[in-house]
Amino acid sequence: MLHIAPVKSTSYPTLRSCIDDCIQSVAQWQGLDSKFMYGNAWQMLLEEQQAPDQPLIERIRLPRIDTGYLAAYHGLTFKYMERSEPAMDKSYMLDLLENQLSSGMPVLVGFDSYDCPWCVAYRRLHTSHACLAVGLDREKSLIYLTDAYYGKELEAVDFGILDGACHFYALFGRCEPSRSCADWQHVLQDMLTSPANAVRPDQVGSQLRAYANAYLETGITADGSAEASSAFKIYANALPISRIRFSLFLRLLEREGHAPVLSRAAEGYRHAGEQWELVNQFMIKGMCSGNKPEARAKLHKNMCKIISREEQLLEELADLMITAQTSR
């Protein structure tokens, strides 16, 4: 049995990810941090509508956590895998869990929260949830889970139930960090100008504005049920979570790189995350009260204010890099 304390990735109960919580729990257990994996969280892309009935909120594309940065800056590896043949086989999964736990590392297991008794979505909504597998009793067919998202230190679950609901997993490991955060200007430049980025910093505003304009035009409709509101939150919360993530990255870079000049941007992105969460709440309110055009227009105005602030923050970060380069 591995004794890993459940650690929350942020102090915001509604603005965090179960996967982030799992990674932060393992990182802290190993005496590490993990927040450089959020270095690309400033991005946002609005995809073209794929079908007439595709909900607006499902067109938002945000970057996943960057496992390359996690390894390079923190020395923690994280290998995410969808379950497919032969990994769908129960014996394969039991052997994998046993081997990994014997090596002294937990396994992240992702499953349908519809089958998880302590999840709020239990028997109500099909969605993904993730926990850490920290122990295994093959003879009794029990797997022991730590759930940082819900603050569960140890839960014994019949492996047959988990096996039927599990659709992805991830393996942890250790490596030697290959990058330093001492030169914060270089780190920030890498995060903002990497060729792997889906959008450039100067394109984020137009993507966010396209999202706001699409909401103004059509709004978001639903049947008003609790299930519809929960499903909306799952997709919609990704945007505020991404802004909180980038704020956490900037705070860590500020501390580790001795760069108090980043404090303003970190605070700005924290505030943006909170503001986008409020937008979501008003969207749900509008969705349940008839999707009225006047309510959409009012919310659109507030969305544009948040977007202008994000554009300003990215411009300030770009200016900081330019100033740092010219002063060398």
Pairing of strands 60-61, 152-158: unpaired
Mean pLDDT for all residues in the chain = 91
> What is the reported pLDDT for 274?
97
Pairing of strands 166-174, 107-112: antiparallel
Residues 6+ apart with CB under 8 A from 114: 121, 122, 123, 124, 125, 126, 127, 165
Q: Where are the alpha helices (DSSP H) in the chain?
A: 18-29, 67-74, 90-102, 159-165, 184-193, 204-218, 226-236, 238-256, 263-288, 293-326
> What is the reported pLDDT for 326?
60
Q: Which residue in this structure is represented by tokens 């330019």? A: 322
> What is the reported pLDDT for 288?
80
Q: Which residue in this structure is represented by tokens 């900081």? A: 320
State the pLDDT confidence band at 52, using cuts at 50, 70 and 90. confident
Above 60 in pLDDT, residue 193?
yes
SS3 68: helix
Can you name the residues that pair with 60 across neighbouring β-strands? Answer: 46
Above 70 in pLDDT, residue 48?
yes
> What is the reported pLDDT for 312?
97
Above 70 in pLDDT, residue 223?
no
Residues 6+ apart with CB under 8 A from 88: none
Token reading at 118: 């302590």
Token reading at 20: 């982030």
CA dist 21 to 151, 240, 276, Å? Answer: 10, 16, 21
For the segment 234-265, what is each residue's pLDDT rounded down to a tens digit?
788 999 999 999 999 999 999 999 999 999 99
> What is the reported pLDDT for 285?
87
Q: What phi and psi values does residue 125 have, to the nearest 5 degrees?
A: -150, 135
**CA-wise closest residue to 201 among 32, 30, 42:** 42
> What is the reported pLDDT for 302?
97
For the segment 292-304, what is each residue's pLDDT rounded down to a tens digit?
999 999 999 999 9
Q: Which residue in this structure is represented by tokens 């544009």? A: 304
Across the range 150-168, mean pLDDT stands at: 91
